[in-house]
Amino acid sequence: MDRITEVQNEALSAIESAQSPEELQQVRIKYLGKKGSIQALMSEMKSLPKEEKPVFGQKVNLCKQAVSEAIEKAQAQLEAKALEAQLIKDKLDITLNGTKSEKGTMHPLHMIQQEIEDLFIGMGYKIAEGPEVEEDYYNFELANIPKDHPAREMQDTFYIDPNTLLRTHTTAMQMRELEKAKGQTPIKLICPGKVYRRDDDDATHSHQFTQCEGLVVGEHITLADLKGTLEFMANRMFGEGRQIRFRPSYFPFTEPSVEVDVSCPFCNGKGCNVCKGSGWIEILGAGMVHPHVLEMNGFDSEKCTGFAFGVGLERVAMLKYGIDDIRNFYINDERFLKTFDRFD
């Protein structure tokens, strides 16, 4: 019996002096393990006289229980202590200055392109894309500009070989889409993309720029539909209250052809230095798809009509964001590009 008390006291003081969960685990094995001291006491019971067994057994059980409880309690305390130590060690000083990571911004041309795509998708248009290295056939022939046509000189072209070129306008995609439709209407799409011309670069010219073509073909499509569509676009791009004005023009692939002005968003049409006092700013070329273009692409021009337009995205971006030199879009000066984070 004294041995039991002795083992219990020994165990309790070992528990008390354990400094870590690992040390405590060693104590647990030493006293409560299969080969531990308390188990050894149990085995001693066999050699006792019968009448002493129950009292002895009960005392050993109480000893086991006391040691188990003490271990459990010590375990919880040691774990709490370890956690606290860890928290102190891992403490973050959130008042320290962090290192700022550089964040890029969307390119202004992409912003404009996305805006235009969103607004036309909202009106049920599809988006078509196609090759920048294009066949003369789509860029010119199908657009009603045969080889000897003077209009070829309106667009100085980068030729790769006599039949291959860098597309000079997204109207090439209009032709591809017309051909693909095989005379089936309705067609309602826009084609945004890069185009190229042999221009000398200056503040308003760039040998590479971006256009977005629009094309709608169906029954009873009129110039009024074109006007309404462009008015909607102008209001969304330049703010409510914009008006649209058509001026007669010439493109080989449209008849009639128009040049489209928008009422100046800077002075609301009153006249300022951006619109050079006229109250209007030219933004794009458009017209009704030429019956010959429809016929060449397999449409019955007696049954269907269509409108088309081609808008330069740099021009829209320059007006919208007050940019005065087209080269800014291409020289990748971070100081310029960073100013667009205000639209994030």
Told to check if 169 binds ligand DAH by CB under 6 A, we report yes
Enumerate the β-bridge partners of residue 134.
165
User: What's the min distance (Å) between Cβ of 261 and ligand DAH?
Assistant: 14
Judged by CB under 6 A, the residue of 263, 287, 297, 315 near ligand DAH is 287
C-alpha 175, offset from chain centre = 30
Say if residues 28 and 20 touch (Cβ distance below 8 Å): no
| d(C-alpha 283, C-alpha 247), whole Å | 12
Say if residues 226 and 324 touch (Cβ distance below 8 Å): no
Say if residues 206 and 326 touch (Cβ distance below 8 Å): yes
Q: Which is nearer to ligand DAH, 78 or 151 (CB)?
A: 151
Told to check if 144 binds ligand DAH by CB under 6 A, we report no
User: What's the min distance (Å) between Cβ of 112 and ligand DAH?
Assistant: 17
- Binding segment for ligand DAH among 26-34, 37-45, 124-132, 280-288 (CB under 6 A)? 280-288
| d(C-alpha 194, C-alpha 25), whole Å | 72
Q: Which is nearer to ligand DAH, 11 or 145 (CB)?
A: 145
User: What's the min distance (Å) between Cβ of 273 and ligand DAH?
Assistant: 26
Told to check if 171 binds ligand DAH by CB under 6 A, we report yes
Told to check if 251 binds ligand DAH by CB under 6 A, we report yes
DSSP alpha helix (H) spans, the chain:
2-17, 21-32, 37-44, 53-89, 108-121, 136-139, 171-181, 223-238, 291-296, 313-321, 334-338
Enumerate the β-bridge partners of residue 194.
210
Residue 222, C-beta contacts closer than 8 angstroms, at least 6 positions apart: 288, 305, 307
Q: Which is nearer to ligand DAH, 108 or 193 (CB)?
A: 193
Judged by CB under 6 A, the residue of 234, 286, 294, 326 near ligand DAH is 286
Q: Give the end-to-end CA distance of the chain in Å, rounded to a whole number.
A: 81
Told to check if 254 binds ligand DAH by CB under 6 A, we report yes
- Directed axis angle between helix 108-121 and helix 223-238, to 10°? 130
Q: Which is nearer to ligand DAH, 74 or 244 (CB)?
A: 244
User: What's the min distance (Å) between Cβ of 210 and ligand DAH?
Assistant: 11
- Binding segment for ligand DAH among 100-108, 183-191, 228-236, 282-290 (CB under 6 A)? 282-290
Q: Which is nearer to ligand DAH, 41 or 190 (CB)?
A: 190
Q: Which is nearer to ligand DAH, 73 or 205 (CB)?
A: 205
Q: Establish how many alpha carbons lie within 13 A of residue 40's alpha carbon, considering only the half-sphere containing its beta carbon.
A: 10
Residue 138 φ then ψ, to 5°: -80, -35
Identify whether 256 is preceded by a cis peptide bond (ω within 30 of 0).
Answer: yes
Residue nearest to ligand DAH (CB): 310
Told to check if 310 binds ligand DAH by CB under 6 A, we report yes
Binders in 176-195 for ligand DAH, by CB under 6 A: none
> How many of the chain's residues bind ligand DAH (CB under 6 A)?
12
Q: Residue numbers of the site for ligand DAH (CB under 6 A)? A: 169, 171, 174, 213, 251, 254, 285-287, 308-310
